[in-house]
Structure 1
């Protein structure tokens, strides 16, 4: 079968063995997979020493073609999934830091999302797999995992769907695909949400979804841009005693202004990857249409994955979906 790999630090489509179901779990024929910003980071920072261990693609939609476990799923089901799950028993899980769990870090789909077939185990089926509803296209359903990451960040900032958040306001810095759905999800949490980006095309798209910029002081600022320039912008817009959510790695790790944080009693919160509960909420937001991702993905074939990566790096597209 075809599968993506890094070879000589370049994205290549190679022939590899189809995964075999030798335990409880499922074999899934991949129908498509979203290209995540983390895939781009892996490619940019790969080395000859680690390229063989890098897995590309995890925002998978596919059809179950073989299954061997007692689950609500069956052969022929079209599903969307996440790629990591925690043990629920370690000290990290005990305090809710699921993405720090060793089981979480080691669990994954095999061989990678940009493959014609993948294997998932019984815990994937139990905690991270959902049926694709009729009202979502495959490229829309592929937003389950990135939206779950967004839900995690919002919940770590202290917002809860069951609470009245209407008095609170938040600013999203960076309106790429993650910032775009962060602003929408905040509105679903009934937070007054605004967005800012120096890219005029992104702000133009965001405005079509009622995401605007307002010069103001905010309770919470979400940094999703991956640029160190977002740090002073965040400090400029955050109220005293407010929360800054670090929701992206950055190329140059310029330091924060320590005294600014200290005297203003600012809270710095990092959010990285979702828990099974975040997947549940993400699924509900997508299925209900409260987060709208229609027609924002550019579709590529697996053979043109390298082209999708290049277009993403050059800023030619908003979001890439690889049809397989």
Structure 2
């Protein structure tokens, strides 16, 4: 039960009762998302059970459910679209009103969740054979990354700068995360407190970045992103900021003369999740190397502290059945 980032308690709740078109999922793995530790955002709903990056086993099947059976291994999404509104029909599922209103009961940091009928219908995806639960739980954040890359129109041969430990050229304040970025494929890593666009030019043949992905909501990183994008390049704002954060942008210099594009991304559509699971199953994305901690449910509070600190951890997975 989440009260704040430093107060996550182990509490007893009744196992949810399942209706005719619903499922009961036994949670095997649940990842802690960066959004879970955005205290300014989560505190509004506290106390609550968080967790939306989940993988588990079907423990009970409602009488009206025919596509799943007890023992099936599933990844399930908490937010699902209607697939019928003007946004969904144009491919913009993540701005659908239904997606913003749906969830499961109670949340992923628990032993069992109830999947409402709409989540069973369009938010439950079988885990491919050979994919362990911990890696499968990372399908949801990977799907968000995949959607962001599509929106940014990432192309082979581009120079990609990730502000907030990523691959290609990565910046961060954490040496632990910079080392992880190097190990996972980054061509260059630069400390964020020493980073300037000139440093990027030094490691990139005199050029700025074709694509800048801002994976942090820190205002200095937002300003760095604008200064670091090359002509006709793109800035993808991947992480939200705290309320009230604004940045100055010169329309003439950034957009009119240099042709830069700014875009954002939020969440993922069911199709993105299916693609993410395929990427994991095929081994094209080595999820296992990105998981730094496996914790039992009783140590979820430690997981929140590790994720909020964002220095000596990568992906933290809670395993309620340990």
- TM-score tier (shorter): 0.7 to 0.9
| TM-score (normalizing by structure 2) | 0.84
Judge which range, 225-234 or 28-37, deviates more: 225-234
Equivalent in the alignment of 2:26: 29
Structure 2: runs of 5 or more not aligned: 189-202
1:160-175 to structure 2, matched below 5 A, reads 165-175=155-165
| TM-score (normalizing by structure 1) | 0.84
Alpha-carbon displacement from aligned partner over 1:249-304 (angstroms, at most 9, x marks no partner) = 12472414233433323211010110111112111111111111114230111111
Pairing 1:247–2:234 present: no
Q: How far apart are 1:22 and its partner, in Å?
A: 1.4
Going from structure 1 to structure 2, the CA distance change for 1:44 and 1:298 (only over 3 Å counts) comes to: farther
Query: For the residues of structure 1 that align with 2:144 and 2:134, how far apart are their CA atoms?
Result: 17
- Match of 1:15, SS state, is coil
Instruction: Please provide the CA RMSD for this pair.
Output: 2.3
Equivalent in the alignment of 1:189: none
Equivalent in the alignment of 1:188: none
Query: For the residues of structure 1 that align with 2:52 and 2:146, how far apart are their CA atoms?
Result: 17
Contact 2:25 2:58 in 1 (8 A): yes
Contact 1:196 1:212 in 2 (8 A): no
Judge which range, 255-264 or 196-205, deviates more: 255-264
Regions of 4+ moved over 4 Å: 44-47
Equivalent in the alignment of 1:187: none
Pairing 1:109–2:99 present: no
Equivalent in the alignment of 1:14: 11
Equivalent of 2:254 in 261, 270, 277: 261
Contact 1:231 1:256 in 2 (8 A): no
Query: For the residues of structure 1 that align with 2:184 and 2:4, how far apart are their CA atoms?
Result: 40
Q: How far apart are 1:106 and its partner, in Å?
A: 1.1
Q: How far apart are 1:73 and its partner, in Å?
A: 2.5
- Match of 2:219, SS state, is coil
Report the count of equivalent residues.
298
Equivalent in the alignment of 1:84: 79
Alpha-carbon displacement from aligned partner over 1:35-56 (angstroms, at most 9, x marks no partner) = 1111101x35444x6424x441
- Match of 2:84, SS state, is coil
Query: For the residues of structure 2 that align with 1:80 and 1:297, how far apart are their CA atoms?
Result: 21
